[in-house]
Structure 1
Amino acid sequence: MYRLEHVSKVYQETTALQDISFSVEKGEIVGIVGKSGSGKSTLLRLLNLLETPSKGQLFLANKEINKLSKKAIQQQKQKIGMVFQQYNLLNNLTVKENVALPLKLMGKKDEANVMELLSFVGMNHKQDSYPAQLSGGEKQRVALARALTRNPDVLLCDEATSSLDEENTDDVIRLLQRIHEEFPVTIFFVSHELDTVKKLCERVLVMEDSRLLGVVDNQPTYLSKSDTPYLEKVKRRLAE
């Protein structure tokens, strides 16, 4: 799926990434962790094809990105879905219209697919609501549905749970686990929340000072929906 060989990214005199090498197979869930300024965001921009390497080679689906035409790169971008920390929903559009937006920008329309995705993320009952009427967890569910609209090969999650409380974070993790089961998608999950990464990711790329320190294998935990009342959850956590 992705292969990076000795990739570096330099902005003027600042080295944002230095000699990064790793590969990711189709269908993996990979975490990217590191302190602020470690290079996570730059790496994500390379994976999203918003940037190209200053040095080294980046391959996506066995195609070297630096050798592709602008049209070919745009075609590859359409196979990549993005989910952001701040949701990036358009406030003047309804939930349904936000999810349909990627198709609209391509000059396409598929209302059945939009409604199916809204049902999948549990937001079909809010299809006519606007983002201002939604909670943070609901907004992220809509953002996930929108990211899936074009049936992507890759889903990039940039701090997708950082603005959410613990309950909603677990809901999003459960939804990402369902997405991984039911869609043929490779997931990159960028986060500074190690507990969240531990629950979701099979491998974790550890970044520091623009370098890749190493890759850590992990056994994720499949989260089932808990029926424990919220008060009891709080009591248990405080007693730990």
Structure 2
Amino acid sequence: MIQLHHVSKDYQQINALDDLNFQIEQGEIVGIIGKSGSGKSTLLRILNLIETPTKGEIYFGEKEIQTLTKKQIQQTKQTIGMIFQHYNLLSNLTVHQNVALPLKLLGKTNHEKVDELLDFVGMRMKSQYYPAELSGGEKQRVAIARALVRNPTLLLCDEPTSSLDEENTEEIIRLLKRTHKEFSPTILFVSHELSSVKTLCERVLVLESGRITDEFFNTPKDVSSPVLSYAERIKRGVKDVRN
């Protein structure tokens, strides 16, 4: 469980986060929705242990993060996976090498694990491709495999569908649902796209000007049906306009 108690973050005269109080249960899929500048990225940097709050306390389980030693912080970071809006793949590494990178940084190798995850995200056949040879949706699938390679208990998603079209957005949402079902991580999905948040998340927090202004529970939409082709989407849109 993750708990935030009166968490604030200031940058000189700017109050990026203001007195946040909420908790996330282990295994939940929680959405944070807010406009640009609402504090979403700052919140993710704090939960990813990149920055520390100006005020307040954050607990990962029973441990308050500001009491951890450097070694404990590094160990905690290894339990966190991060998925970025713009993928953050290294252009000079192949798909396989990008997914293996978090293990390599720990001095480990596990090619079987990497191959299993590439199978899971449907990218095994392109394991020797480079990022420049991939579509946006394919890059994000590789990024998800990379985020899972260290078996994280917490998966932070920073606008992971914002750079994708509708079809690829639905595919990534499906993949995140499968990820939750298969590996059971806690997922924090941050976005400004209400449709994506409502499709995936069980609980949604609204962030405005650094404060949580609302919270609601949600029944995620079913995205198990086949993805429509681009032409079918156009036809459906034309029919909707006529009706």
Tell me which residue corresponds to 2:175. 175
Tell me which residue corresponds to 1:30. 30
Cα pair distance change 1:227/1:142, threshold 3 Å: closer
CA shift at 1:235, angstroms?
1.1
Identity %: 62
What's the TM-score, normalizing by structure 2? 0.96
CA shift at 1:227, angstroms?
5.8
Residue by residue over 1:113-160, the C-alpha shift from the partner in whole angstroms, topping out at 9 and shown as x without a partner, is 000000000000000100000000000000000000000001111010
State the alpha-carbon separation in 2 of the partners of residues 238 and 196 from structure 1. Answer: 22
Tell me which residue corresponds to 1:195. 195
State the alpha-carbon separation in 2 of the partners of residues 212 and 185 from structure 1. Answer: 23
Check whether the contact 2:170–2:227 (CA below 8 A) recurs between aligned residues: no
Indicate the larger mover: 218-227 or 11-20: 218-227
RMSD: 1.0
Cα pair distance change 1:117/1:107, threshold 3 Å: same
CA shift at 1:13, angstroms?
2.1
Tell me which residue corresponds to 1:101. 101
CA shift at 1:4, angstroms?
0.4
Structure 2 residue runs of 5 or longer lacking an equivalent are none
Structure 1 residue runs of 5 or longer lacking an equivalent are none
Superposition map of 1:119-158 within 5 A: 119-158=119-158
SS of match in other structure, 2:152: coil
Check whether the contact 2:167–2:228 (CA below 8 A) recurs between aligned residues: no
CA shift at 1:74, angstroms?
1.1
Check whether the contact 1:174–1:222 (CA below 8 A) recurs between aligned residues: no
Aligned residues: 240
1:51 matched to 2:51: yes
CA shift at 1:228, angstroms?
4.1
SS of match in other structure, 1:172: helix
State the alpha-carbon separation in 2 of the partners of residues 228 and 21 from structure 1. Answer: 41
Indicate the larger mover: 10-19 or 154-163: 10-19
Moved >3 Å (runs of 4+): 227-230
Residue by residue over 1:34-60, the C-alpha shift from the partner in whole angstroms, topping out at 9 and shown as x without a partner, is 111111111111111111111111001
